[in-house]
Amino acid sequence: MNSSRKIILSVAVPIPLNHLFDYLPPDNYDPQHLKTGIRIKVPFGKQSKIAVLIEVKSGDDKNTSKLKQVEAILDTEPLLSAKDIQLLNWAKQYYHHPIGDVFTSAFPTTLRKGKSSELKSIDYYLPTAEGTEVVESRLKNAPKQLALFKFLKSQPGAISSQEIALHFKLWRAPLKALIDKAYVCTSNQPVFDSTHLNITQQTPLIANAEQQTAIDSISTQLDQFAVHLLEGVTGSGKTEVYLQVIEQVLERNLQVLVLLPEITLTPQLEARFKQRFTVPIETYHSQHNENQRHAAWLKLQKGHSSILLGTRSALFTPLPRPGLIILDEEHDSSFKQQEGFRFSARDVAIVRAKVLNIPIILGSATPSLESLYNVDKKRYQLLRLPNRAGNAKPPSMSLLDIRNQSLHEGLSPPLIREIRKTLAKKQQVLLFLNRRGFAPTLICHSCGWVAQCSRCDANMVVHYKQQKLRCHHCASEQSLPRQCIACKSEELKPLGLGTERVENALHQLFPEHKSVRLDRDSTQRKGALKQHLDAINQGEVDIILGTQMLAKGHHFPNVTLVVLLDVDSGLFSIDFHAPERLAQLIIQVAGRAGRAEKKGRVIMQTRQPDHPLLNTLIHQGYQAFAQAALAERKNAQLPPYSYQALLRSLSHEKDIAFEFLLAVAELINQQTNGTLVLGPVAAPMAKRAGQFRFQLLLQHSKRKQLHQLLNWLMPEIAKLKLARKVRWSLDVDPIDLY
Ligand code: ADP
Ligand code: ZN
Ligand code: ZN
């Protein structure tokens, strides 16, 4: 038997196994199409799966006799470039995560399910050369057609029906009429007419000295990989710096990827980009449906669009002409994916910039300690915007000692006076409390019984308006009991403070002033958040009360007093990341104050007025705090001075969850590479949604050593019998230990 050479396709299949699978090509295939980065439909068990072609190899009859044929080749051109594949391979290696899962995460859901990667051709509309006056006189009796015609005339180029629909409710019939009369014609490209060949359609602001330094410094290094950390307080003009650097990248006909936390990717920001640039801009976030994300991804991938504004999930979007990556609010924990493929979009974005040899800008008012450490190590270049742009002054910050004060639902008398004074000046007040609901605890005054979640290691939260007890960690809820479950007493008392309770107090204390509460409960209804924000911006609201939701993205120009009702709860966490988070939160919330001409004030209520963290932060600023916090981390040999990986286990059976990690710890102890093994211990929340949770922390002063251990360990864990009885995960560089 003579053996002939055969082609083998190695593909990444989205299943939790960390290797590639080999297949044979289909019968009638075009060898031209077998390029790495295309999608392929393969038989897998009893199902079919959508896989990605990673490697084309050759084999002979011997090693191909058992291979199955692929079912279909889905793309004629690769969706992922060689650099994309290189990056995803790096991520798979670094996060020790199954390769198929990592590759799948690069695609929008539609492409994962096998939808065609051809872009539906879109029609664009533009007015014909017919003079405006002529058309105007002829359309006198057709006001809808005339309005649409004038609108199209005012555009820099041809626009899609989607864009028309944003401005007109009834447009189909008028548009058709205009086309029939030959006042409007269609084009299959968003062509620009020759008078609008500029990239910018709005003149940039005149940069101040610090902004100009930052812009120049980045602009001279556009041809190479460099990490620029742009540190600037809220309102210092970071976005303006981004826009001016982007302009230069667009002039080179390159593409820009802008990553933002979900909450700061607002329609206002999108509008600001679209006002500035004439190039096609796409957005990619959870508010878009599958088809919108599909189109945005492909428009970048095919090079039709030049800018992508997206959240973490947009990180891997392929760019045929990459020029710049920007990651705004780089300290924000939402850049870390906390389930499945647990990656840090910030860290991977930096590696992506390196692979592509392009610059990346990280922006923040409160840079992460890791990034500041990298500045110290000269790996990143620090650019600072210490002042607010325009006329806005920085707010003054002070601590308000509430020890021995009689509090009215969490508000101290001096604070109530300050709020009153501010309101009397017709200025707005913002109150921050990071706890929704009425009270975090319901306790029996007679016997001390506390309402607890039966499925979690947590107290039930009182939601008074809805007369409910709710667990904020699982979906459990029940109606508010009238009697103590233990002793039948009716003396049930809500203990502690939530936003709903403070809202009631505000109604009592300031009955003549309108207040609005912004938290997950009050903004659940679609459109509710926008409604509240509009009311605030139109000055219909005097007092704004809210949670975390207030800390980012929003601009409240008439707010001059910002109050943090309770900073103490953030001071005593067992997680070493907590002080950093708290300091960032304080600065971010403070940044909401006095953004316009009026100077703002920030008051923090505390029972720890001498706390070193708080004092360093308010008297010396965030940089001083960060240096002190880094010194503490160094002393304790905590990240970024060491490297961590956290193994978590989950099971309905407590013993199994524990024993699994115990077995893993024993495996590791056979090795002696100096990795510190802490645990297994119960997670800080030992039970959640009915499952027991344990964790094992691995730490090493050298990243390489830790990863060597993990390389060896992961396949060993997979061999453990217990591994099949628990749910477990690995979190490389964990950002919280919960
Ligand atoms: P950040 O992104 O740091 O919060 P922005 O770029 O949004 O800051 O700027 C804050 C405000 O200051 C915006 O209203 C912006 O138009 C204005 N601004 C920024 N740079 C300048 C400048 N050089 N001159 C005048 N106003 C500016
Ligand atoms: Zn009781
Ligand atoms: Zn629960």
Closest atom of ligand 1 relative to the 242 alpha carbon: 6
> Could you tell me the distance, in angstroms and rounded to a whole number, from the CA of residue 494 to the centre of ligand 1?
44
> Could you tell me the distance, in angstroms and rounded to a whole number, from the CA of residue 442 to the centre of ligand 2?
11
> Could you tell me the distance, in angstroms and rounded to a whole number, from the CA of residue 446 to the centre of ligand 2?
5
CA-closest residue to ligand 1 atom 5: 237
> Could you tell me the distance, in angstroms and rounded to a whole number, from the CA of residue 388 to the centre of ligand 1?
8
> Could you tell me the distance, in angstroms and rounded to a whole number, from the CA of residue 547 to the centre of ligand 3?
21
Per-residue tokens: 635: 């002393």
Can you tell me the distance from the alpha carbon of 368 to that of 330, in angstroms, rounded to the nearest whole number? 7
Per-residue tokens: 198: 């500029």
> Could you tell me the distance, in angstroms and rounded to a whole number, from the CA of residue 29 to the centre of ligand 1?
56
CA-closest residue to ligand 1 atom 21: 389
- The answer to whether 564 touches 602, Cβ cutoff 8 Å, is yes
CA-closest residue to ligand 1 atom 11: 235
Listed in sequence order, the residues at least 6 apart from 203 whose beta carbon sits closer than 8 Å to its beta carbon are none
Smallest-distance ligand from the CA of 488: 2
What per-residue confidence (pLDDT) applies to 733? 97
> Could you tell me the distance, in angstroms and rounded to a whole number, from the CA of residue 79 to the centre of ligand 1?
38
Smallest-distance ligand from the CA of 451: 2
> Which residue has 């980065």 as its token pair?
37
Can you tell me the distance from the alpha carbon of 443 to that of 690, in angstroms, rounded to the nearest whole number? 23
Closest atom of ligand 1 relative to the 207 alpha carbon: 23
Task: List C-alpha distances in Å: 520 to 423, 499, 550, 582.
Answer: 26, 11, 11, 20
What per-residue confidence (pLDDT) applies to 160? 81
Highest mean pLDDT among 17-31, 221-235, 344-358: 344-358
Q: How many CB atoms lie within 10 A of CB 154?
A: 8
User: Among 231, 236, 240, which residue has the most ligand 1 atoms within 8 Å of its CB, making it the best to mutate?
Assistant: 240
CA-closest residue to ligand 1 atom 15: 237
Smallest-distance ligand from the CA of 272: 1
What per-residue confidence (pLDDT) applies to 413? 97
In the three-class reduction of DSSP (H, G, I as helix; E, B as strand; rest coil), residue 208 is classed as coil
CA-closest residue to ligand 1 atom 19: 237
The residue among 489 and 138 whose pLDDT is bigger is 489
Closest atom of ligand 1 relative to the 211 alpha carbon: 23
What per-residue confidence (pLDDT) applies to 582? 93
Looking at every residue in the chain, the average pLDDT score rounds to: 91
CA 409: distance to chain centroid?
34
Does the pLDDT of residue 198 top 70, yes or no?
no
- CA dihedral (667, 668, 671, 672) positive or negative: negative
What per-residue confidence (pLDDT) applies to 190? 63
Per-residue tokens: 697: 């922390």
CA-closest residue to ligand 1 atom 26: 390
Can you tell me the distance from the alpha carbon of 255 to that of 318, in angstroms, rounded to the nearest whole number? 10
Can you tell me the distance from the alpha carbon of 615 to that of 510, in angstroms, rounded to the nearest whole number? 31
What phi and psi, each to the nearest 5 degrees, are found at residue 628? -65, -40
Smallest-distance ligand from the CA of 329: 1
Can you tell me the distance from the alpha carbon of 395 to that of 198, in angstroms, rounded to the nearest whole number? 39
- Band of residue 196 on the pLDDT scale cut at 50, 70, 90: very low
CA-closest residue to ligand 1 atom 10: 235
> Could you tell me the distance, in angstroms and rounded to a whole number, from the CA of residue 692 to the centre of ligand 2?
28
Closest CA to 68 of 25, 122, 32: 25
Can you tell me the distance from the alpha carbon of 711 to that of 92, in angstroms, rounded to the nearest whole number? 11
- Bridge partners of 677, per DSSP, are 698
Residue 212 one-letter amino acid: Q
Per-residue tokens: 282: 């796409």
Mean pLDDT of 207-231: 96
Does the pLDDT of residue 194 top 50, yes or no?
no
> Which residue has 């950390």 as its token pair?
229
The pairing of strands 428-432 and 543-546 is: parallel
> Could you tell me the distance, in angstroms and rounded to a whole number, from the CA of residue 495 to the centre of ligand 2?
14
Closest atom of ligand 1 relative to the 392 alpha carbon: 12
Closest atom of ligand 1 relative to the 555 alpha carbon: 4
Does the pLDDT of residue 602 top 60, yes or no?
yes
460-468 own/partner pairs: CB under 8 Å, 24+ apart: 461/436, 461/437, 461/498, 462/437, 462/438, 462/494, 462/498, 463/437, 463/438, 463/500, 463/521, 464/438, 464/439, 464/494, 464/500, 464/501, 465/438, 465/500
CA-closest residue to ligand 1 atom 4: 235
> Could you tell me the distance, in angstroms and rounded to a whole number, from the CA of residue 477 to the centre of ligand 3?
8
Which residues lie at CB < 5 A from ion ligand 3? 453, 455-456, 471, 473-474, 476
Query: Tell me: the pLDDT tens digits for 371-422?
Result: 999 999 999 999 999 888 776 777 889 999 999 999 999 999 999 999 999 9
User: Among 202, 203, 206, 239, which residue has the most ligand 1 atoms within 8 Å of its CB, making it the best to mutate?
Assistant: 239
Closest atom of ligand 1 relative to the 234 alpha carbon: 4
Does the pLDDT of residue 1 top 60, yes or no?
no
> Could you tell me the distance, in angstroms and rounded to a whole number, from the CA of residue 476 to the centre of ligand 2?
22
CA-closest residue to ligand 1 atom 6: 237
CA-closest residue to ligand 1 atom 25: 390
Single pTM value for the model: 0.88
Smallest-distance ligand from the CA of 243: 1
Query: Tell me: the pLDDT tens digits for 59-111?
Result: 887 778 889 999 999 999 999 999 999 999 999 999 999 999 999 999 999 99
531-536 own/partner pairs: CB under 8 Å, 24+ apart: 536/428
Query: Tell me: the pLDDT tens digits for 461-506?
Result: 999 999 999 999 998 999 999 999 999 999 999 999 999 999 999 9
Smallest-distance ligand from the CA of 487: 2
Please list every protein residue whose CB sits less than 6 Å from any atom of ligand 1: 205-208, 211, 232, 234-240, 389-390
| Residue 738 CB-density burial (10 A; 0-12 exposed, 13-18 middle, 19+ buried) | middle
- Band of residue 195 on the pLDDT scale cut at 50, 70, 90: very low
Does the pLDDT of residue 191 top 70, yes or no?
no
> Could you tell me the distance, in angstroms and rounded to a whole number, from the CA of residue 651 to the centre of ligand 3?
15
> Which residue has 């910030």 as its token pair?
346
Residue 119 one-letter amino acid: L
What per-residue confidence (pLDDT) applies to 193? 41
Query: Tell me: the pLDDT tens digits for 427-457?
Result: 999 999 999 999 999 999 999 999 999 999 9
Does the pLDDT of residue 596 top 80, yes or no?
no
